[in-house]
Structure 1
Amino acid sequence: MAERGAHLTAAFPYADRPSIFEVVAQDSLMSAVRPALQHMAKVLAESNPGRYGFFWRWFDEIYTLLDLLLQQHYLSGCSASFPENFYGLKRVVLRGGGGEPRGRPATAGLPPQHHWRSLCLLVLVPYLKTKLEKLISRLREEDDYSIHPPSSCWKRCYRAFLAAYPFVNLAWEGWFLSQQLCYILGKAQHHSPLLRLAGVRLVRLTAEDLQAFEEKRLVARAAPQPSGSLKERAQSAGKKALGGVAFSLSTGLSVGVFFLQFLEWWYSSENQETIKSLTALPAPPPPVHLDLGADAPLLPRLKTVCPLCHKIRANDTALSTSGFVFCYRCIYNYVKRHQRCPVTGYATELQHLVKLYTPEN
């Protein structure tokens, strides 16, 4: 079976074609980096909500901006995205897609049309997909608990959208799976439909490409300082600053990839059992109330009163991030708007809401 499986990685029509394991590995690299950065943003937000809370609330936008800068840097200088360059791959224009020669060096970048198309598909599609998944999750939550019930006409479209999304998502994932199967069998030049939409395919870096990268570094180090007008100097300084930020970000990500294995071990089931045994101690006292401004609620004296509306709680709901209990409708609207606990300021999402069911209910 191993010998037969090895034939699946052979390059049927192209000698420089990467194997399915290489392309799948580079696809999963950024999906592994994002949760790590998100965990860092959450830790910062919990350590100081007033100063670092915006990292958690605007994480998707900040991550997309950094991703845009990173992918632009690599596409313009390496003809590849960051994970593709990390695994020694580059993008070349498909035959008939602009007449670009196959011997074009990686340092020359992609043609403008394919460059911007690749950049949009690399950055915009994951961002929109993440936002759509969060929207679906929020709409389902509102539909389950009748938060802000829609009108009769809108309600039918609303329910139809929720019902159709699983089938649309299934078709999307099936499209990618079928493309990968065609790539394994040598029936396609690319493993992802996004590459086909960009009009490119992946190939391995050649010795000429590696030599061109080294020459480019040497030329950049020996380049003289610009002696033109003030505007030209400012433009040159701006380009160097952006290049330095992109280089620092790419270097940091390259180093951080090696720590992902540690994160996987840390969150593994075996290690979590060890952590539970070490943390089986009495519960600590409630966290000290933080000064979050005029909208920060005061804790009521009666334990049955909601800290937000100061009325007897209805549909008791606790926050797993802080342990405080509120009315479901009150805390749902607050967390949806502020993404934090109203008492402690800890970073909180809607999935951290835990409904409590008393014997009377």
Structure 2
Amino acid sequence: MNMAEHGAHLTGVFTDEDRPSIFEVVAQDNLMTAVRPALQHAVKVLAESNPARYGFLWHWFDEIYAALDLLLQHRYLSLTSGSFSENFYGLKRVNAWNKKDLMRLASKGLPSKLYWKSLFMLVMVPYLKTKLDRIFTQMREEDDYYIHLPESHWKRFCKAFLAAYPFVNMAWEGWFLTYQLLYIFKKTYHHSPLLLLAGVRLVNLRGEDIRAFDKMPSFVYPQQGRSVAEKLKSFFSKAVGGIALSLSNTLSISVFFLQFLEWWYSSENQDIIKSLTSHPAPPPPVHYEQNETMALPKLKTVCPLCHRTRTNDAALATSGYVFCYRCAFNYVKRHQRCPITGYPTELQHIVKLYCPEG
């Protein structure tokens, strides 16, 4: 048996034509990675324009994004056997351990077991990773700037977490990089370990898949004689499908706009951006609508929160107002906003001020 026959025996029905290039699989990964910060920036602009109405969007952004992502990926996994970004680049998921599954039409969706594994890896794993990163950032800031209580079991656990997490994160990123390198040299069918854990691999859509998509009906008309439970289930499925369809269409149009944003914020355009944004200082920020009872002190040396002479001055980078550091830290940690303007604020936005003595 020569080398070509041996390779054909190993790959079975999988061929190089079915195997996506490294550029395609990395591009579809980066698509959703670019969508999240773009939506987050839009939500931040809304929250700063009207904190009373849109502030909750910023506070619960991770959960809202995960819910919308769940609806979007559910629709695409069910109808195209792939995620939104995978379908956008003409890819689908097939059973990694059953080579005959390559002939399964993408319009039939993934089998139930592979569907749930894929949905978990696409939505829940990134959500949990984002929450862990945020917890690590907050704990590190508290460890650097907060006045700590005496040593306790919880404090020792926090120290261990802060010491270990950077290495865990490095191992996590190295795990993904290793699979991408193995994929480049055709040592594995998976460019991501999450695909391996889900039990699937990515292949290119075939002509039969595309023709099946064209034949899919836009609506399924209800049948007579169905029970109330079946009608409610059908109504709920259509509602979820409609929301997911709206999201997918919006994202498809937004992809081109995201490419423009990447160009706009690239390093070679920074001089242009600076020249366009070099305007006079803006007026003071607007007072928070739901907090009009908090009047600013007449003396500039008094803290607006404790109404005493400020100690250990600290300013909020989001609004510019100055408080006692302890007052600002405790308020921002509890409410995630500026107490005067209501602008979304995190602990890293607190800037300590050091005045020259004398």
Match of 1:7 in 2: none
What does 1:1-361 align with in structure 2 at a 5 Å threshold? 14-15=15-16, 16-96=18-98, 101-149=101-149, 151-216=151-216, 219-221=217-219, 223-229=220-226, 231=228, 232-293=230-291, 297-360=294-357
Q: Return the alpha-carbon distance in structure 2 between the equivalents of residues 267 and 204 of structure 1.
A: 32
Report the 3-state secondary structure (helix = DSSP H, G, I; strand = E; otherwise coil) of the residue aligned with 1:220: coil
Deviations for 1:121-170, whole angstroms, at most 9, x for unmatched residues? Answer: 11011111111111111111111013443634333322121111111111
How far the C-alpha of 1:319 sits from its partner, in A, is 1.3
Structural RMSD (CA): 2.1
Q: Return the alpha-carbon distance in structure 2 between the equivalents of residues 262 and 44 of structure 1.
A: 21
Corresponding residue pairs, total: 345
- Relative to structure 1, is the Cα distance of residues 339 and 266 closer, same or farther in structure 2, using a 3 angstrom cutoff? farther
Contact 1:226 1:236 in 2 (8 A): no
Q: Return the alpha-carbon distance in structure 2 between the equivalents of residues 102 and 279 of structure 1.
A: 53
Q: Return the alpha-carbon distance in structure 1 between the equivalents of residues 346 and 255 of structure 2.
A: 27
Contact 1:77 1:106 in 2 (8 A): yes
How far the C-alpha of 1:253 sits from its partner, in A, is 0.4
Which sits farther off after the overlay, 50-59 or 305-314?
305-314
Q: Return the alpha-carbon distance in structure 2 between the equivalents of residues 24 and 313 of structure 1.
A: 52
Q: Return the alpha-carbon distance in structure 2 between the equivalents of residues 297 and 344 of structure 1.
A: 10
- Relative to structure 1, is the Cα distance of residues 162 and 224 closer, same or farther in structure 2, using a 3 angstrom cutoff? closer
How far the C-alpha of 1:84 sits from its partner, in A, is 0.5
How far the C-alpha of 1:206 sits from its partner, in A, is 0.2
Contact 2:97 2:199 in 1 (8 A): no
Q: For structure 1, which runs of at least 5 residues remain unmatched after alignment?
A: 1-10
- Relative to structure 1, is the Cα distance of residues 18 and 236 closer, same or farther in structure 2, using a 3 angstrom cutoff? same
Give the ranges of 4+ consecutive aligned residues of structure 1 lying more than 6 Å apart after TM superposition: none
How far the C-alpha of 1:353 sits from its partner, in A, is 1.8
Letter in structure 1 aligned against 2:208? E
Q: Return the alpha-carbon distance in structure 2 between the equivalents of residues 139 and 344 of structure 1.
A: 26
Contact 1:147 1:329 in 2 (8 A): no
Which sits farther off after the overlay, 334-343 or 175-184?
334-343
- Relative to structure 1, is the Cα distance of residues 358 and 123 closer, same or farther in structure 2, using a 3 angstrom cutoff? same
Contact 2:80 2:108 in 1 (8 A): yes
Deviations for 1:10-35, whole angstroms, at most 9, x for unmatched residues? Answer: x9973211011110001111110001
Q: Return the alpha-carbon distance in structure 1 between the equivalents of residues 206 and 278 of structure 2.
A: 55
- Relative to structure 1, is the Cα distance of residues 281 and 251 closer, same or farther in structure 2, using a 3 angstrom cutoff? closer
TM-score normalised per structure 1 = 0.90
Contact 2:80 2:87 in 1 (8 A): yes
How far the C-alpha of 1:289 sits from its partner, in A, is 1.6
Match of 1:3 in 2: none
Q: For structure 2, which runs of at least 5 residues remain unmatched after alignment?
A: 1-10
